[in-house]
Structure 1
Amino acid sequence: MSALEPLPVTTSPTKERVAYLDNARYWVMLLVVIGHSLTQFTDMDSARGVYVWIYSFHMPFFILISGYTARRYMGDARQVRRIVSTLVVPYLLVETSLQLITRHYTGEPSPLLLLSPQWLAWFLAALFVWRLTTPIWRALRYPITTSILISLLVGLIEVPNVLALPKILGFLPFYVVGLHMTRERFERLADPRIRAASVAVLGSALLICYTYSKNWQIDWLLWKQRYDEDPLGATAIEGMSQRAELLAIGFLLTFAALSLVPRRRSITTALGGRTFYCYLLHGYLIIFLKLQFDLFDDMSRFGFAAVVATTFAALVVANLLMTKPVSVVFRPVFEPKLTWLFRDIPKPSPTTPSAGQTPEPTGKRPAGTP
């Protein structure tokens, strides 16, 4: 990546959705649902390779895009309201309900651990923390280097799972790099030579994972244990080396996948604009099928056929959960307006910059604004 450019110094009005980003969200959401579904079959070689391949870059991909879309966060009243309604409220709702469902079947966790996300809601907590810390990454001279050092060092110490802090700090470099991405950098990835190399890189990675992953400790891909903790059991040097390798692989495969994302508007664009609902809802279905019917245990005896069937079913479910009827039904639940909770936001006068904005000198635009 070339020298860092200044981050935007003003908030911006809501703009038309970018087809490229929604297409990217669509394809990575398919990987998320497939990966979560195949978690039940990781003891099988036919599923383990695909699982490891997906987990080596699907969250780095999602996080980098999240960083890019958050690059204008300044902490003004409008943005704070948005964080509460689309991150805090969904987090509390999803984490509480999933823990209650799990406790109904297994008796755990008891008591409820609402500030220690057990599964899906960790990403909502991460987005909340990353978004609030965005001003820090604006102020630092070497933000990417700092985030990488934090990621490497966090595995050396005991960090409580409050709001999934170990994962938040481990994945931090992908968010910070996303903050410093520009449209021009994304466009460079569309170069035909880069796309051809990306196909080779992703294909080779899948082949390597499928061939050798049976001997790998896949808990490294969860980014949450200390290096010396079971089942990792690594020394400090081994742990930091493995984490550095995962960072490098994550960035390489993420940029390779981003280069292959279509730029044009299509049916995947509309579906990609609704990945939020798919992400939150698919976990309920997986947990219900697993705990109520033991479906995945029953299917495992069919071996490779079970993996293929589960993958196909995950694709169908993911697409259904990204349809408009689902968003219409669940938007009031997962994205409540909460007008009763917040004060009215006064409209800024033409001569007064809004909260979080820097006045523009006449005839000039702030550095870093497109």
Structure 2
Amino acid sequence: MSELAPLPVSTSTPKVRVAYLDNARYWVMLLVVIGHTLTQFVAMDPARAVYVWIYAFHMPFFILISGYTARHYVGDFRQVRRIVSTLVIPYLITETALQLITRHYVGEPDHLMLLSPQWLAWFLAALFIWRLTTPIWRALKYPIATSILISLAVGLIEVPNVLALPKVLGFLPFYVIGLHMSRDRFEWLAQTSVRITSAVFLTVTFIICYVYSRLWETDWLLWKQRYDEAPLRAGPLEGMLQRGELLLLGLAMTFAALSLVPRRRSWTTVLGGRTFYCYLLHGYVILILKFQFDVFDRVEQYGGYAVIGSMIAAVVVANLLMTAIVAKVFRPIFEPRLTWMFRPPEQVTPKTSQSA
């Protein structure tokens, strides 16, 4: 007689909403929506400056928070069920829908490539992979150093875009660092001297982006091409140095932004608890405005006014997509209960099997 090891029913306590983290989610979600909107105007200097500044740290920021909130993942029944309902199902829905929309308007992709995310859903695929590998990063002796080496090395080789692996491995250090963050480290960031320094640092980086961004290749900020691939066209050493600089800059700007996030509960806390729906839905808004109504092409002639107006519109749309009514309507779609798919918790222990 041999018995399979049972899947723990629940070894972790349910999450308790933390005002600071929800506030952080709210502000970074605004950056995400603004950044994706400005992608339509990146050829214009004002938009390019803001775009480069946002893309230098908005995903590192988001990923580090995701790592911190996933630090207790052990693969128990509740956690596995939640991964399927909040990552796998939304990924399939979002990626299928976005690919069908783009194919309807521009004819691409020719065939659905559900395992090769084209846009927003890459982050859901990344969270799925990172979450499943969390126990590994918690067990390694030098997890952060290992993740950095992987990030630097992945740009040297050809990695297929299956579940966005190039970006998953490129951004990996931010997730691993988040896993090893602690409440004390976040509290240290709240010191007045640190917050002042952070505000100055973020201001200086924005000024630098405004002055020099027209000279930079923005594809470095996408973390998905090989170093020697167009348009990067960098040698191995240059590529690793460039990515290393982006790792340091992204981490520094992330900590600076985290130090400025309010600690107290407010209206941003409430909205920040619903960023999931905003992330999944804002892409549809942008694509419809772009392809169906040609909004971005029509307003581009207004230059800086178009950029400012688009940023304001992005903030309004983001806030609307974080409202209670949106969460109520889309929760059954993006967070299904899936009671039909999973066995009751008391039945998760496998039956013993007799070997021949």
Q: What TM-score do the two structures reach when normalised by structure 1?
A: 0.91
Query: Partners in 2 of 1:141 and 1:160 — Cα distance?
Result: 29
- Deviation for aligned residue 1:253: 0.1
Residues 11, 180 of structure 1: alpha-carbon distance in 2 compared, 3 angstrom cutoff: farther
Aligned position for 2:5 = none
Are 2:54 and 1:54 equivalent residues in the alignment? yes
Offset, 1:15: 4.0
Q: Work out the CA distance in 1 between the residues paired with 2:11 and 2:289.
A: 43
Q: Which residue of 2 aligns with 1:225?
A: 225
CA distances 1:310-356 after superposition (whole Å, capped 9, x unpaired) = 000000000000000000000000000000000001299xxxxx99x
Which residue of structure 2 lines up, in the alignment, with residue 91 of structure 1?
91
Aligned-residue identity in percent: 72
Structure 2 residue aligned with 1:275: 275
The Cα shift of 1:12 comes to: 2.5
Partner of 2:291: 291
Name the SS for the 1:147 alignment partner: helix
Q: Which residue of 1 aligns with 2:156?
A: 156
Per the TM alignment, residue 295 of structure 1 is displaced from its structure 2 partner at its CA by 1.1
Q: In structure 2, what residue type is equivalent to 1:28?
A: V
Once the two structures are overlaid, the 10-residue window that deviates more, 329-338 or 12-21, is 12-21
Match in the other structure for 2:338: 338
- Is residue 171 of structure 1 aligned with residue 171 of structure 2? yes
After superposition, give the CA deviation of every residue in 1:182-225 in whole Å (9 maximum; x if it has no partner).
11110110000000000000000000001100010000000000
**RMSD value over aligned CA atoms?**
1.4
Letter in 2 for 1:88: V
**Residue in 2 that maps onto 1:250:** 250
**Counterparts of 2:70 and 2:255 in 1: how far apart (Å)?**
18
**Partner SS for 2:345:** coil
Separation in 2 of the partners of 1:336 and 1:302? 43
Determine the structure 2 residue equivalent to 1:358.
none
Q: What is the distance in 1 between the residues matched to 2:110 and 2:16?
A: 45
- Measured in 1, the distance between the counterparts of 2:272 and 2:216 equals 33
Moved beyond 2 Å, runs of 4+: none
Q: Which runs of 5+ in 2 are unaligned?
A: 1-9, 351-356
Q: CA deviation at 1:46?
A: 0.8
The residue number in structure 1 matching 2:36 is 36
CA contact (8 A) 1:103 1:109 kept: yes
Q: Is the CA contact (8 Å cut-off) linking 1:278 and 1:321 kept in structure 2?
A: yes
Structure 1 equivalent of residue 309 of structure 2 = 309
Deviation (angstroms), 1:11: 3.7
- Report if the CA contact (8 A) 1:11-1:73 is conserved: no
SS in 2 for 1:118: coil
- Residue-by-residue CA offset, 1:95-120 (whole Å, 9 max, x unaligned): 00100011001111011111000000
**SS of residue paired to 2:298:** helix
Query: Which one-letter code corresponds to 1:329 in the other structure?
Result: V
Write the distance in 2 (CA, Å) between the matches of 1:336 and 1:12. 21
Tell me how many residue pairs correspond in the alignment: 341
User: What secondary structure, in the 3-state scheme, does the structure 2 residue paired with 1:108 have?
Assistant: coil
**In structure 2, what residue type is equivalent to 1:334?**
F
Contact preservation (8 Å) 1:11, 1:72? no
Q: Aligned in 2, Cα 1:94/1:15: closer, same or farther, shift over 3 Å? A: closer
Which consecutive unaligned segments of at least 5 residues does structure 1 have?
Answer: 1-9, 349-353, 356-370
Letter of the structure 2 residue corresponding to residue 238 of structure 1: E
CA–CA distance in 1 between the matches of 2:317 and 2:140?
Answer: 42
